[in-house]
A and B are shown apart, each in its own frame.
Chain A
């Protein structure tokens, strides 16, 4: 049996190409990038050894602090926003629309597959103030509020990014959580109702506790994805005004390709990777079972 299913030559033939490509294009560059952190320069002008300077600079560069704060703030706010929106939607699907929810589920999911750049350009126009007053400001005007120049300050631009990303992803989390909700055995609702629970009490004491595992995995997926935010921010605000909406990913990109500082860019990438690693480890440790099996 094992001569066939454990044939080493066959393993090499089937696994070899994938492992080779993966090693050459992902694993080797990861360590190569680690090596860059002790150099300064880029492939065109050449490299000079600077030791720990780049790593030390991470701790003194005020822009790193700003980018780190923005990244974490964005990840936390968006995670709460999109998981909450998705959860409310999934409750709507399961308890209100019931069997009629298929079409709505499909429609609300559609923005998930849209290219981020297209969505960002759309939202730039939706929130525009010039040359034309966009629908959002027009709506504000209609209820007597003056137009807001959303992209003029980091504070309002941040919320446009958040709103856009919730619009993009709520359908995804709704379907993910919906799958968890329909898994709850029907008998549990029956017996709870016989015991007199209904409406909010049913949700509070039966639905939420039973959907905690899938809620928890949604939060993990969300944090893991949002820490790496790049497309939405780049396309919507390009980090501006100033660097008020610049996450680590974008700061790394600008450092490396606008200023040609590969060493420092790699150091920022390393910081980002460590951040992702720590968050993943923290979440997995704080839960006893493997939540990716949600």
Chain B
């Protein structure tokens, strides 16, 4: 499915069927459709706008004003200050970055090499190994949590960010290997055969042919993995046993607890930071994100 989806999403919209009769009142017939679109945009957009507005409201505004009221002061950043100071948000963000980036780099480097070995190179048993990796996509994370907890506990890694980095690297591998194998399949075999005849070693072929030809694909896979790792809750919740190790998602989960349910403002501000941080990446790379996410749909 991967190949077809990638191509078609990338392709601009095909000519959809045009109505045969063109009447001057065509725009009247289109009104219901535009209403549907308007409702859709409100349903997707309003919660986010409401969230942003909430992050500027004081506790009194939350309690006394109606829920759809605009914030009284759009320059009231107290909630953000509160989230970063009392809420430890900066520490959580730092932990998320420190866990995500090394894991992402590792999973991509060894995953791309594995994809190359499994798809471009010719050896007995490569189909079986690819299937072995594929099986990992289906196994729920709960199946490996407890033994990993024991391993990290006994090797003394508990209490650091290493359990997160190691687990993310491994969990990211099946999808990375699967997607990279698919991309390498798209590179004509003749190129590698010609390079072999020209005397290029396999490492040279990986570095000078394979890697450059799938560079864009690697970036797409990395983007997908970034979101999976950054947004993860299960692994982060299991292996962070101290407050100063929490990633942003785990920290956010406990935010309501620290401030009590009634402290809406700082929670809204923290959620906003999380949401609009993602928005910045999405603003620049949305087409790639959409392509990558749908190509990785096997993950469900």
Residues of A within 8 A of B (CB): 1-2, 4-8, 10-11, 13-15, 17-19, 21-22, 24-30, 32-33, 36, 43-44, 89, 92-99, 101-102, 104-118, 121-126, 131-135, 138, 167, 171-172, 175-176, 178-180, 182-183, 186, 189-190, 193, 202, 217-218, 221-228, 230-231, 234-235, 249, 252-253, 256-257, 262, 265-266, 268-270, 272-273, 276-277, 280, 291-294
Contact = CB atoms under 8 A, between A and B. Distances in A.
B144 A33 contact: yes
Contacts of A231: 231, 233-234
Interface of B: 1, 4-5, 8-9, 11-17, 20, 33, 36-37, 40-41, 43-48, 50-51, 54, 62-63, 66-68, 106, 110-111, 113-114, 116-118, 120-123, 129, 132-133, 136, 138-151, 153-154, 166-167, 169-171, 173-174, 177, 192-193, 196-197, 200-203, 205-206, 227, 230-231, 233-234, 237-238, 248-249, 252-253, 255-256, 261-262, 264, 267-268, 271, 274-275, 278-279, 281-282, 286-287, 289-290, 293-294, 297-300
Nearest to A32: B147
A252 B142 contact: yes
Contacts of A33: 143-144, 146-147
Q: Is the interface of A mostly helix, strand, loop or mixed?
A: helix
A174 to B, nearest CB: 10
Given A5-B120, A104-B37, A179-B8, A26 B170 contact: yes
A115 B13 contact: no
B287 to A, nearest CB: 8
Given A26-B136, A269-B146, A276-B138, A15 B63 contact: no
B137 to A, nearest CB: 8
A14 B206 contact: yes
Given A183-B4, A269-B140, A10 B202 contact: yes
A14 B139 contact: no
In terms of DSSP, what is the predominant structure of the interface of chain B? helix
Contacts of B47: 122-123, 126, 135, 167
Given A26-B171, A107-B44, A193 B20 contact: yes
Contacts of B140: 227-228, 249, 269, 272-273, 276
